[in-house]
Amino acid sequence: MSNLHVIDHPLVQHKMAMLRDKNLGTKDFRDLVNEITVFLGYEVTRDLPQEEVEIETPMGKAKQKMITGKKLAIAPILRAGLGMVDGMLRLIPAARVGHIGMYRDHETLEPQEYFFKMPTDISERQVIVVDPMLATGGSAMMAIDSLVKRGVDPEHIKFVCLVSCPEGVKALEEAYPQIDIYTAALDEGLNEDSYIVPGLGDAGDRLFGTL
């Protein structure tokens, strides 16, 4: 699992403990998803390319690094990925946002794409795909397939989730070994309905109060 980054920062883990509580209300769930995403976003942007620039300060010249290279896009997988957009935008406010509408069929568990809208220059951008849950990995892989079909190089894609499990990580790593996965938790596995255990339930329903 070489591409997996489990973010074990105490603040992230503390907030995850709060998030997992089945009695947490919709507003608090949404707020915590945003807060945790800021920490995950901090890690996922850690290796952005930089260049040294010279700045005039009131006291003289300073050499300082600034981000350079490819522009960024955030790609939430709907619905639940929407809950992570504000947290990412807090860190990279100028990033474009492209939406991938997808739901997992309850019978077959196969993802179904129902919407796809990206910035027109998506093939020239580094893309951060966000979705709170990496379960079987089917949705993440199909979302990435759609980006690759539009010309995005898998080398320029990162995947960020709150909860993952060995099955989803393995599937995504096998399909796209070059893609880094960032997660706040690697859980035990999937139950018979392919929900993550212990997980946090259906992330979309918990975010939007559609339980």
Ligand X SMILES: O=P(O)(O)OC[C@H]1O[C@H](OP(=O)(O)OP(=O)(O)O)[C@H](O)[C@@H]1O
Ligand Y SMILES: O=c1cc[nH]c(=O)[nH]1
Asked whether the beta carbons of 116 and 125 are under 8 A apart, the reply is: no
Told to judge if 202 belongs to the known catalytic residues of this protein, a careful annotator would answer: yes
Sign for the pseudo-dihedral over CA of 122, 125, 126, 132:
negative
Task: Establish if 199 lies at the interface with ligand Y (CB under 6 A).
Answer: yes
Residues between 168 and 207 with contacts to Mg ion, criterion CB under 5 A:
202, 204
The residue annotated as part of the active site, out of 145, 153, 180, 202, is: 202
What are the residues facing 133 on neighbouring strands? 163
Q: Is 186 in the site for ligand Y (CB under 6 A)?
A: no
Out of ligand X, Mg ion, ligand Y, none, what residue 199 binds, judged by CB under 5 to 8 A for its kind, is ligand Y
Using alpha carbons only, give the angle 53, 56, 62 rounded to the nearest 5 degrees: 55
Residue 184 is assigned to a ligand binding site:
no
Is 145 annotated in the active site?
Answer: no
CB-based contact 141:90 (threshold 8 Å): no
Q: Which of these is catalytic: 47, 108, 120, 193?
A: 108
Q: Residue 126 or 164: which CB sits closer to ligand X?
A: 164
Are 158 and 5 a contacting pair, CB within 8 Å? no
Q: Which residue number, 68 or 210, has a Cβ lying nearer to ligand Y? A: 210
Task: Name the minimum Å distance from CB 143 to ligand X.
Answer: 8
- Tell me if 119 sits within 8 A of 125, measured CB to CB: yes
**Which does residue 134 touch among Mg ion, ligand X, ligand Y, none (CB within 5 to 8 A, set by kind)?**
ligand X
- Decide: is 140 part of the binding site for ligand Y (CB under 6 A): no
User: Coil, helix or strand for 80?
Assistant: helix
Active-site residue, 104 included: yes
Residues 33/71, Cβ–Cβ less than 8 Å: no
> Which residue ranges make up the site for ligand X (CB under 6 A)?
77-80, 102-104, 111, 131-140, 168, 194, 202-204
Q: Which is nearer to ligand Y, 80 or 185 (CB)?
A: 80
With beta carbons less than 8 A apart as the criterion, state whether 188 and 198 touch: yes
Kind and range of the H or E run holding 158:
strand 157-164
User: Which of 33, 127, 130, 133 touches ligand Y by CB under 6 A?
Assistant: 133
- Residue placing its CB nearer to ligand X in the complex, 101 or 123: 101
Under 8 Å CB-to-CB from 106, ≥6 apart: which residues? Answer: none
**Residues taking part in catalysis:** 104, 108, 202, 205
Write out the residues near ligand Y by the rule CB under 6 A: 80, 133, 135, 195-196, 199, 202-204
